[in-house]
Structure 1
Amino acid sequence: MVSQWLKEKKVILLFLGLFTVLMIGSYYLTEQPLEDYPPYHVESPAPDGTKGFYQSLAQLDYPVEKFTEHPAQLTGDRQTALFLFNPPIGMEQEMIEGYQQFVQTGGTVFLLFDQPNDLFEVDLTSVPIMEQEGEILVGEETYTGLLTSAFRVEPTNDDEVLILDGYGPIAIRHLYGSGQVIQFSEPNWFTNQAILEADHLAMISEIIALETYDHLLFETYHGQVETGLSVLDVMPNPLIMFGVIGIVVSLLYVWMKGKRYGPARDLREQVVRFGDERIRALANWQIKGRNYHQSLQIQVNYLKQGIFERTGIPVTATWSEYQMTLEQLLKNRTDESIQTFINQLSELLASEQVNKQEFLEWTKRIDEIRREVEA
C-alpha cells in the first residue's frame, strides 16, 4: 500500500525533495548580511567601531573584558576601570545610579562622548569645529590630532586638565567619591578608522595608565538597550530555516489532501437544479406581468401540496376540509383566525381581481401558513 502511494505521489515528492535541497543550499551559499552596530561599539568592525582598540589590548595581554550586565552589577575598586563610549541622552535613572555607585566605591570610568549626557554632571561648551587637524597639548608635550567633536569639557577648580587644544579642554580628570572619571570629548580617536592616524594612540597611552588596573571593562549594555533584538535575531538561523521549510511542507501536504484556499463557490448547475433560482425567476416574471391572481393560485397549490405531504389529504379537497385540517395542524392559531383566513382566501381567488398590494399581503400570509404546516 505504501509503495502504491509513493508511485501516485512521485511527482509531488520529487518536487518537495528538490525544494528542500534548494532551501538548504541557498542558506549555506548566500552571503550573510553584515551586522549593524551602533557607533563606538566594542564588537563593531566598522570604521566607527572600537573593536581594533579592544583586540589590540587583548593581544598585549591587558586584562580586558566585555561587560554586558546592568550597571547595578558593577563592583568598583581602585584596580577596576570601565570604558563607557557615548552613553545615550535620557538614560534610565537606575543605570545612572549604577555607574555613579561604581565610581563612588573606588572605580574609574573613562567616559568618552561626542554628545551631552546625564552622567557625573558633565558641563560642555560648543565649539565651531568641522573635522580639522590641530595642535594638542598633553602635559608639556605637543601632539597633532584630528578634531571632530563639537564640544569641549568645562573643568571645575578641583578637576585636572589632561588634554587641551586651542578651543579648550578635551579630557579632564574628575574626582567622584573614592573613584575618578576621565571625561573625554574626542571618542573618535579610539575608532578603528582613526586610532592609528596622527598622534591619537600616543595621546591615549599618555593619559591612560592601563598597567595600573587589574580589570579593564568595556561596557556594551547600553548599546544592547538602544538597538534591541528581534525574535529573528535571537533564534538560531538553522532553526528559522527548518521552521520555514516545515511551514511550506505542511501547506503543500494540506493542499495535496484536497484543501483549497479562498471562497467556496457552488457550481451554477447545482444552484439552478437544487436552489431557488427557478422559483425567483418565476416570481419576477409573475410580478412584471402583473399575473397576481395566477401567482397566488400557484402559491395556494404549493400550500395544498405541503398539506398533502404532511396529512395525506388530497389537493382536490374542499375548503371546509382544509379548514379542519389546518385547525388540527396549527395549534398556535385559533379556529376563528383559520376560518377567517380560509374564507378571505377563497373569496379572493374567486374574484380573479387582485392588485399588487393584495398580492404582496397574501403572499406573506400564505408563506407563513406554509412554514407552520411544514414545521
Structure 2
Amino acid sequence: MKVYFYHTQDIQHILQQIEKQEFPPHFLYGATLFSKHGVDVVWHKSKLNQSRWKMMVRTTWRILTCKESFDAVYATHYRGLELIVFLRALHLFRKPVIVWHHQPIIKSPSKWREWLGKLFYKGFDELFFFSQKLVNDSCKTAKYPPQKMHLGHWGADLKFYDSIRHQTQRTKGFISTGKELRDMPTLIKAFNATNAPLDIYINEQNGDVNYNKVFANLTLNDNIKVHQWNRLAPYELALEVNKANCVVICCQESKYTVGLTTVVEALALGLPIICSRNPQIPIDFDKDGCGISVPYYDVENWTKAIDYITQNPTEATAMGARGRALAEREYNNEKCAEVVTQVIKKYDKKA
C-alpha cells in the first residue's frame, strides 16, 4: 500500500535534515516509519510562502497529476488541502483522505457556514486528534462520525532525543521555547519574583505578535535572558533544552494544543515541566507526576511552581523520569506510526 503524504512545511528540507540526524522525524507525523508497517510514501513537494488560494490550487494540481500511484492521502493538516477535501465530499476524488485535525470540530452559528462545514467534513475518511478532549468536544457537534475519530498518540522520536540526552550537563535552570500564543507577561512576572534563572528562546515575530515589543513593555530582571530565534532549528534548540533542569510552557488560553511540541520534547529528554493548564493537551502533568500545571495568567501559582522545582531537585528529577516513561509508553513516533498505519491499512485494496 502507498499513501500520498501532505504537509504544510518543507518536507524535502526536513527529510534532508533527518538524514543528517539534525531534525526530529516526528515532525512528519510517523510517516518516516510507515515502511515498517507495510505502507510506502509519496512525498508532496512543498512550496512555502504562498497565499492560501495558491497553496490550495497547487496542492490540488500536484495530487491530481501525481505520476506515482497511491491508495490514499495522509495529511498533517487540511490547510491547503481544502479543494481535494471538497472533491472527495462530492465523490469527484476517489481516494480516501486521512487528516490530522488540530482543533475541536465546532458548530457554526451561521446556518450557511454550518451547512458548508457539514459538506466539508464529508470529505474526510478518517481524522486523527492529539487528545481525547479534542475527540470528545468534536463529538458534541454531531458533524462527523465518532468511529472515524482517532487518538493519534503523537509524540517525539525517542531515538533522536536519545542521541542528545547525554551530550551536555544540565546546569541552566529553566528554559522556555516555542513561539505560538506564549504568555510572556505572566512568565516574566513570575521569574522576576523568584530570581530563578530563565532562558527564553523565541522568534522575534510570530504572526501578528512582535515579541520584541512585548518584552519592551516588561521589566526583565538579570536572571532572565532572551535569545532571538528566527529560523526553524529543532536540533539546536533541543541541545539548549537538554542543558536545562526544567521546561516552562506559559501560554495564553486557546482551544487547541498550544505548547504540545515543547511538551513531547521535554518528555523525551526526561525533563520536568511546568505548563499552563491547557485541557486540550493529552498529558495530565499533576496526575501523571511529570510536572506541574498552572491556571492561565496566574502569576502567584507560577511563582509557587518555580519555587517548588527549585527547592525539590530530587522530586524534579523523578518528574522527568516519569515523563520519559510516559513518552515510552504512550506518546512517541513509533506508537504514532503504528496507530496511524492501522487506520490507513483499512483502505488497502490488496488486503
TM score, norm. by length of structure 1: 0.25
Higher Cα radius of gyration = 1
Instruction: Judging by fraction of residues, say which structure has more helix.
Output: 1
Q: Taking CA–CA contacts closer than 8 Å with sequence separation of 6 or more, which of the two structures ends up with the larger relative contact order?
A: 2
